[in-house]
Copies of this chain bind each other. A is one copy, B any other.
């Protein structure tokens, strides 16, 4: 793990990169990294995030600044800007069931090629997918999902990079922290080693590549 400024971290992300972004309706999203992506005008991004949040919040900021070209999400109903950019084909949107979204990312981080889920069998979601029977029951083969970068927000990070998350801000952060080539983390508090007890670490230190240490916000 290396401690870096938010400017340095975002400078490493090229235009056109694929990013997993933690958070659920903007809760548990690394806002400072998104602000800096906007400031550095990183465009043509592929975003993998549960939702599009709302304008001005979380991933919504990237749609405000029209930096997104592809989005994989489960629901974008509360962001009219993201919807409009989908309708005008500025953004190619792939909407998938939330449990499938979680499992595909988990598979990507766990070395699995995919999982068999009953979700979506017999619906539009099944189109173009392999259907596989196990003990006579049909499942969809949903394949692993990875990204170049995961942008993760923790409640506590220690000086080694161990992370813990608070309440409903955990959501997709731990699975995304395993499913990207490079993991960049912001935290509400950076604390000495030992403050997070071993049993309470939710993302072990070796998974974290960069921890943002700018003191503000």
Interface string of A97-139 (1 = CB under 8 A from B): 0000001000100111111111000000000001010110101
Query: Any chain B CB within 8 A of the CB of A198?
Result: yes
Asked if residues A115 and B118 are in contact (CB atoms below 8 Å), the reply is no
* Contact with A199, one of B117, B141, B200 (Cβ below 8 angstroms): B200
Min CB distance A178 to B, Å, is: 14
Which residues in chain A, 124-176, are within 8 Å of chain B measured between CB atoms?
Answer: 130, 132, 134-135, 137, 139, 141, 143-144, 164-167, 170
Chain B residues with Cβ under 8 A from A165's Cβ?
199
Chain B residues with Cβ under 8 A from A114's Cβ?
115-116, 134, 139
Look across to chain B and name the residue whose beta carbon is closest to the beta carbon of A103.
B112
Q: How large is the interface on A (under 10, 10 to 19, 20 to 34, 35 or more residues)?
A: 20 to 34
Look across to chain B and name the residue whose beta carbon is closest to the beta carbon of A110.
B103
CA distance in complex: A198, B202 (Å): 13
A114-B116, A115-B115, A143-B134 are contacts. A167–B199 as well, Cβ < 8 Å?
yes
CA distance in complex: A213, B85 (Å): 58
Min CB distance A154 to B, Å, is: 12
Chain B residues with Cβ under 8 A from A130's Cβ?
132
Which residues in chain A, 52-109, are within 8 Å of chain B measured between CB atoms?
Answer: 103, 107
Q: Which residues of A contact B (CB under 8 A)?
A: 103, 107, 110-118, 130, 132, 134-135, 137, 139, 141, 143-144, 164-167, 170, 198-200
Return 14 A-B CB contacts under 8 Å, by A number.
A107-B115, A107-B116, A111-B117, A113-B139, A114-B115, A115-B115, A132-B141, A134-B141, A134-B143, A135-B143, A164-B199, A165-B199, A166-B199, A167-B198
